């Protein structure tokens, strides 16, 4: 597939398969086209050329509302509304009961922070969740996705802005969300793709490497191996100087 922004080609002949029941990770330098691929996969953008298929069906021929019913998306920037915690989670599935909504919240580890709120799940969270931390907002987003229980999950670096403690909690919640799903994850931190089934490496809008994390790490002259080495060196420097 290909894609252009304002006549500038940003994806060139990109082709890969995200298999059912597997985690496929998109990695690459900033501006390589990772997030664009994710949005094209969910038809939030339309391809300039080529086709994207789900279960053999060209998604450009599908009703957008029906198509989105098959997707759950967890992005770094979470959209929340000036309502209670439980109603923000219930947006994941219209008509869900309180019991179903609270079960999804518990699976996303929301209970931990909600018990400290003045009205529990009935606490208003402010415009765009202003009264919550980044990790708490992310767990509400994951609870929504768990409640929706769609077969396809798209994650656009859902933990990139979190500190180590919050990232661990969110990753635990994500592990429950991803079980048995078809998953497309956009990652900037190489440690978030260690358990992926397949890694697709993009550079300047093209697929340049593809394989398991272990195989790509073994290619010492490859982009993935270089990114892993750079991030490992950066983490070591930070540890020594903190």
The answer to whether the 1-70+151-167+174-242 and 80-149 domains have the same CATH topology is yes
Please give the structure tokens belonging to residue 136.
Answer: 């708490």
Which of 102-106, 187-191, 211-215 bottoms out in mean pLDDT, i.e. has the lowest? 187-191
Residue 233: φ, ψ to 5°: -65, -40
Residue 234's pLDDT is 55
H-only helix segments in the chain: 34-41, 64-68, 85-90, 98-107, 111-114, 134-148, 164-178, 213-218, 223-240
Please give the structure tokens belonging to residue 70.
Answer: 């098959």
Mean pLDDT of 115-134: 93
User: Contact 105/89 with Cβ under 8 angstroms?
Assistant: yes
Distance, in Å, from the CA atom of 145 to the CA atom of 74, rounded to the nearest integer, reads 7
Residue 151 pLDDT > 50 = yes
At the topology level, CATH places domain 1-70+151-167+174-242 in: Rossmann fold (3.40.50)
Per-residue model confidence as pLDDT tens digits over 212-239: 999 999 998 899 999 888 877 654 444 4
Mean pLDDT of 161-169: 67
Cα-based angle 6, 18, 77 (whole degrees, multiple of 5) = 55
Distance, in Å, from the CA atom of 208 to the CA atom of 112, rounded to the nearest integer, reads 42
Cβ neighbours around 104 below 10 Å, total: 26
> Scanning the structure block, which residue is given the tokens 């997707």?
71
Distance, in Å, from the CA atom of 14 to the CA atom of 2, rounded to the nearest integer, reads 6
CATH code: domain 80-149 is 3.40.50.300
Residue 240 pLDDT > 80 = no
Q: What does the domain layout of the chain look like in residue ranges?
A: 1-70+151-167+174-242, 80-149
- 186/99: higher pLDDT: 99
> Scanning the structure block, which residue is given the tokens 């086709």?
51
- Prediction pTM value: 0.84
Residue 116: φ, ψ to 5°: -95, 0
Query: Which of 56, 63, 49 has its CA nearest to residue 17?
Result: 56
**Residues facing residue 5 across a β-bridge:** 8
How many angstroms separate the first and last alpha carbons of the chain?
45
Residue 170 pLDDT > 80 = no
């Amino acid at each position: 597939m290909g894609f252009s922004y304002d006549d500038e080609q940003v994806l060139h002949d990109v082709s890969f398969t995200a298999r059912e029941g597997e985690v496929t990770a998109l990695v690459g330098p900033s501006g390589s086209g990772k997030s664009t691929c994710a949005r094209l996969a969910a038809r939030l953008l339309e391809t300039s050329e080529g086709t994207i298929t789900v279960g053999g069906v060209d998604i450009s021929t599908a009703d957008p509302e029906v198509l989105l019913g098959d997707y759950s998306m967890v992005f770094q920037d979470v959209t929340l509304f000036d309502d209670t915690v439980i109603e923000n989670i219930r947006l994941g599935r219209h008509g869900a009961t309180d019991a179903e909504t609270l079960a999804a919240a518990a699976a996303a580890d929301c209970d931990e922070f909600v018990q400290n709120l003045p009205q529990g799940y009935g606490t208003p969270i402010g415009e765009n969740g202003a009264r919550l931390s980044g990790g708490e907002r992310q767990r509400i987003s994951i609870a929504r996705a768990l409640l929706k229980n769609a077969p396809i999950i798209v994650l656009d670096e859902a933990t990139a802005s979190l500190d180590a403690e919050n990232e661990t909690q969110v990753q635990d919640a994500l592990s429950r969300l991803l079980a048995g799903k078809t998953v497309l994850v956009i990652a900037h931190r190489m440690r978030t793709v260690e358990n992926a089934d397949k890694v697709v490496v993009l550079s300047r809008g093209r697929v340049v490497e593809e394989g398991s994390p272990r195989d790509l790490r073994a290619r010492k002259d490859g982009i993935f191996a270089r990114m892993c080495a750079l991030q490992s060196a950066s983490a070591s420097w930070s540890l020594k100087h903190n």
